[in-house]
Amino acid sequence: MPWMTVIGTMAVCRSFPAPTPQDGNLLSINQEVNMSPEMEKTAVDLILKAGEMSIHHGLTIHGSLPNQSDRRRCGLTMRYVPTSVKQVNANSMGMRYHALLVRGQDEEKHFGEMDAPGFK
């Protein structure tokens, strides 16, 4: 059964970990946190069934074993930022992030134009 380990609620990543040179990490940002024994003691296992998800703060330290199934495992990240925010560097994939305006007017145009998704 798929599971994810979440480190205790008070342990958040307060600084961004450096990319790991270790092969086999399929995450686009390829990052890893060095865990102290104290942090490992606060770990909680979450058993997730197919179709279930975990919602947590973006700086919560979390991870799981490799996906052994033939079904895709994916993550979704949402960040709400003011239109004054500007991406100054490309992400780890050498690309720029996209943004969708959810409220107000975008006078800055730092993320370019992006149409809202259509639903049928």
pLDDT (tens digit, 9 = 90+) per residue, 72-107? Answer: 888 888 888 999 999 888 877 788 888 888 889 999
Alpha helices in the chain (DSSP H): 37-41
Q: Rounded to whole angstroms, what are the CA distances from 86 to 83, 89, 108, 110, 111?
A: 8, 9, 9, 6, 7
Here the tokens at position 78 are: 């949402």
Tell me: pLDDT of 1 over 50: no
Nearest to 17 by CA among 64, 73, 59: 59
Identify the residue with better confidence: 9 or 70. 70
Q: What is the pTM of this model?
A: 0.57
Handedness of CA 44, 71, 33, 78 (dihedral sign): negative
Reported as a single tens digit per residue, the pLDDT across 5-44 is: 566 655 555 555 555 666 655 555 666 777 778 888 888 8
DSSP code per residue over 23-43: TT--STT-B--PPPHHHHHT-
Extents of the domains making up the chain:
1-77, 80-119
Per-residue model confidence (pLDDT) at position 95: 80
